[in-house]
Amino acid sequence: MAREGISSLCHPRRWVARIHPNCRPDGLPTKNVGHAGEREKFPPTNIPSDERLHYTFAIMDSLETIARWEHFPHEADMGIRGIGMTKSQAFEQAALALTAVITDPQGVAPQAESHFSCEAPDDELLLVDWLNALIYEMACEHLVFGQFEVTINNHHLEAIARGEPIDRMKHELTVEIKGATYTELSVRHSEESGWVAQCVVDV
């Protein structure tokens, strides 16, 4: 059974804007959407009923789309998968899935900061390079990371990882990750799930 982790609700603005930026199907003046504290205003307008239905489903779909990570079994190793609205977000979630193989990412304090720069011919190789850079840093510096900020431009990645020194009592490390592999390697986009970045790591 796949293990999952949920990070944050993605803001639905891009779905709303592409249909009717200034409409509201039920005629109410405002609606709370997105992150806490944010409010989008939708002045009521007269729009055809079929477009109202399209608009309503777009709102529902966007609220159900969340950034998350997953684990999937693969023989003696472990598959990791990051899902997000953007490629960068999917790479961030894949990194969280990597950390979750050995410990709970939510139990990692952002005490130290490491910077990364990776470049590869395509997205799949970039994912492997990114994950292996994290694995190398964790092994050499005896760190574990729980927060990630990734920026991808073409096939060039810049990232910041935040974490703390490994404490075997606190982090309760389960396994040691040897490296990210090309098995089940995929970086893809779909209208339904957004960006997905995955591979199998050798443990």
**Residue 28 to residues 31, 49, 63, 100, 172: CA-CA distances in angstroms?**
8, 16, 19, 43, 51
SS3 39: coil
Domain 67-202 classified CATH 3.55.10.10? Answer: yes
| C-beta neighbour count of 103 within 10 angstroms | 20
Chain segment 70-105, per-residue pLDDT in tens: 999 888 899 999 999 999 999 999 999 999 999 999
- Of 188 and 25, more confident: 188
| No. of helices (H) and no. of strands (E), the chain | 5, 11
pTM: 0.71
Q: What is the domain partition of the chain in residue ranges?
A: 9-65, 67-202
pLDDT-derived band of residue 39, with 50, 70 and 90 as boundaries? Answer: very low
pLDDT-derived band of residue 124, with 50, 70 and 90 as boundaries? Answer: very high
In the Cβ-directed half-sphere of 19, how many Cα atoms lie within 13 Å?
22
